[in-house]
Amino acid sequence: MNPDFLLKPFTLAHGAIPFHQIEEKLYAPAFEEGLRLARAEVSRISAQAAAPTFSNTLEALELASSGLDQVSSLFFNLLETDGTDSMRALGKEISPKLAEFSNDVILDPKLFARVKAIYDGRASAGLDAEQARLLEKTYRNFKRNGALLGEEQKTRLRAIDQRLAFLSQQFGEHLLHASNAFILPLEENDLAGLPESAREAAASLADEKRKEGKTQAKWVVTLDAPSFIAFMKFSDRSDLREKLWRAYLTRAASGEWDNRPLILEKSRLRHERAVLLGYVSHAHFVLEERMASEPGTVRKFLDGLLQASRAASEKDLAEVKALAAQSGVKDVNAWDFAYWSEKLKHRKYDFDEETLRPYFALEKCIEGVFEHARRLYDLEFRERKDLPVYHPEVRAFEVTEKSTGEFMGLFYADFHPRSTKRGGAWMTNFREQGFGVTPEGSGVVRPIVSIVCNLSKPTPGKPSLLTLDELRTLFHEFGHSLHSLLSRCHYRSLAGTNVYWDFVELPSQLMENWVQEKEGLDLCARHYETGQAIPAELVKKIRESALFQAGYSSLRQLNFGYLDLAWHAADPSGVTDVEKHEVAATARTSLFPHVAGTMMSPGFSHIFAGGYSAGYYSYKWAEVLEADVFELFKEKGVFNVEVAKRFKETVLSRGGSEHPMELFKKFRGREPDPKALLRRDGLL
């Protein structure tokens, strides 16, 4: 197969990706050719004699690297889900080259002169709102990334960006290897307290690891979320919980896969880059294009939640300690909290979350989340088993607007952990919605969306049965998908989830609300053996327990937000000890004494390998937005068609084509109410 096919529009139905034809050896030459073509097109745009116009410059730039964008999206998405050693090696090689190309575009003085000329004449250019937004975004992107720097400064900026690109991938690779390296073998007497589902999962994991030659044990626990969380919640063995907890909090914190040097280097380079561009810190640079606007606003926002969250979390901890004391346990350590919390929840609400699993069969939950999309947003999902997928576990769906039959996009779903997939859950695009290259030439194309999770696997004789948290995760990532699938923007760089980072979590976190509504659960929660709908009393307990330890959960998120700011809102050049820096940064949000050697930063991929640097506060910020939005749904009806239609038309379909505050006000009729979250979580 000629590698050039990775650079051209795919010809399968709806432009589906021919995964079955892609070989690893094609990536390197495809990247090489993609870079050559993109450079040539950018040079043509920059050097053209015609006076700069929106069409011959801005729109041309939107398409200039279409082939390169396609192979990059394909490669880096698969690197996260099915990466091999050779792909990781290529990633390290190609990331700096892509950063160099990006810098070549941004730092091209002739190209910037064309963009600036259009920007300076924007008042009389007759642009519509979306064109004006694209022009503003493009101009600011040039300016914020070095277009006004001198040559010596531009050279340094290039070097920094190339190094940062390399460090991001290396951080993720270290974390993946360190996580995969840990296995906790169990004997039968180590299974005390574990429910049947956790025992079956531990046996299934052991089968996999034995085949890989990594253990001889009959049961194992790993650092993958389903395995780790179940053991920490249910195991009666405090000594083993401690061992697992320490392994999790020391991942990539020493030895061959030590991320600490990478953190120090990356934070310093980010700061140097920001100062080079005229900003006080990396956080000041990042937040210039966020709803929060600057670090002081973020700190004020976090501080505004801290007092109520801290007081409530201390009460949560006191309740847990009191229960443990009744069983003769004097000290509740960090690795004991989830265990005793689960018992406390059971006592307070007569509620064991394991009783929910039989009602949360993955297949039925998928049908249910699709039905939510139909009732709320008129979307229909139809599985396409004829379309290629990148792994046998992945499923492909065609998405249409039910009332009109209009094609809205392709949706891929990849649900279960494997050794080649990084931890966590995320939504991604293989293709953005918007103006792009098609087999016929160019035009507005629909997106190819994927959600990637690490949900509980099927066990012998049983389907995949989810926990309540896993069901929330499914709804959360699906909410992100809706943001892309419902996008109706003209330009890809403004479409779907291409919004400010403190706005991007609104659609995803909003979807989680339906998981605790009877009307929502009735669409997805049926007993996998009997088909019985989830009983009303269980739904009542889900709702009653939804506020359980809301203070602790809020404080945990604030902890991550403050840690993020500690790395990015000031000069980190004086920081030499990652652990000490983290302990100081999180002192106000830590409920337990620090355990020497443990830390979150080496595993904090959101801010060191993802897009959330100086932006982790976004989760709490978006919680305020979604709590306010869902209050209207609760008032009018959780499946109210008019409210859903307004949200679709003012938010979900508009991407980043307008400032997010303006989009929110168009939906809600006012700015967000900060107290909506505290009301919802019972923290007022």
pLDDT score at 650: 98
Report the C-alpha gap between 252 and 265 in whole angstroms: 15
Q: At what angle do helices 151-181 and 260-276 cross, to 10 degrees?
A: 160
> DSSP letter at 57?
I
> DSSP letter at 593?
P
CB 71 within 8 A of CB 6: yes
For residue 137, count CB atoms less than 10 angstroms from its CB and return exposed for 0-12, middle for 13-18, buried for 19 or more.
middle
For residue 439, count CB atoms less than 10 angstroms from its CB and return exposed for 0-12, middle for 13-18, buried for 19 or more.
exposed
pLDDT score at 679: 87
Q: For residue 251, what is the enclosing H or E element?
A: none
For residue 271, count CB atoms less than 10 angstroms from its CB and return exposed for 0-12, middle for 13-18, buried for 19 or more.
buried
- Tell me if residue 477 is catalytic: yes
Q: Show the domains of the chain with their CATH numbers.
A: 3-106+108-144 (1.20.1050.40), 182-250 (no CATH), 260-265+277-329+551-619 (no CATH), 358-546 (1.10.1370.40)
- List, in sequence order, every residue forming a beta bridge with 400; answer none if it has no partner: 380, 407
Report the C-alpha gap between 10 and 485 in whole angstroms: 19
> DSSP letter at 569?
S
Tell me the one-letter amino acid at 365.
C
Q: How far is CA 275 from CA 58, 143, 160, 290, in A?
A: 28, 14, 12, 19
Of 477, 582, 623, 658, catalytic: 477
> DSSP letter at 58?
I
> DSSP letter at 656?
T
pLDDT score at 529: 95
Nearest to 396 by CA among 407, 404, 385, 406: 385
Enumerate the H helices of 250-393 as residue ranges: 260-276, 282-287, 295-326, 337-349, 362-377
Tally Cβ neighbours within 10 Å of residue 90: 18
pLDDT score at 114: 97
pLDDT score at 268: 98
Report the C-alpha gap between 448 and 430 in whole angstroms: 5
Q: How far is CA 220 from CA 24, 226, 465, in A?
A: 32, 12, 19
> DSSP letter at 447?
-
Nearest to 444 by CA among 400, 490, 399, 494: 490
For residue 544, count CB atoms less than 10 angstroms from its CB and return exposed for 0-12, middle for 13-18, buried for 19 or more.
middle
Enumerate the H helices of 214-294 as residue ranges: 225-234, 238-249, 260-276, 282-287
pLDDT score at 442: 82
Classify 69 as helix, strand or coil: helix
- List, in sequence order, every residue forming a beta bridge with 379; answer none if it has no partner: 401
pLDDT score at 454: 95
Which residues does 574 contact at the CB level (< 8 Å), separation at least 6?
none
Report the C-alpha gap between 179 and 423 in whole angstroms: 9
pLDDT score at 494: 97
CB 360 within 8 A of CB 466: yes
Q: Measure CA of the first residue to CA of the last residue in the chain; give whole Å.
A: 62
For residue 77, count CB atoms less than 10 angstroms from its CB and return exposed for 0-12, middle for 13-18, buried for 19 or more.
buried
For residues 226, 317, 184, 473, the Cα torsion angle rounded to the nearest 10 degrees is 10
CB 73 within 8 A of CB 14: no
Model pTM score = 0.87
Nearest to 466 by CA among 385, 550, 355, 600: 355
Tell me the one-letter amino acid at 615.
G
| pLDDT-flagged residues of the chain (< 50) | none
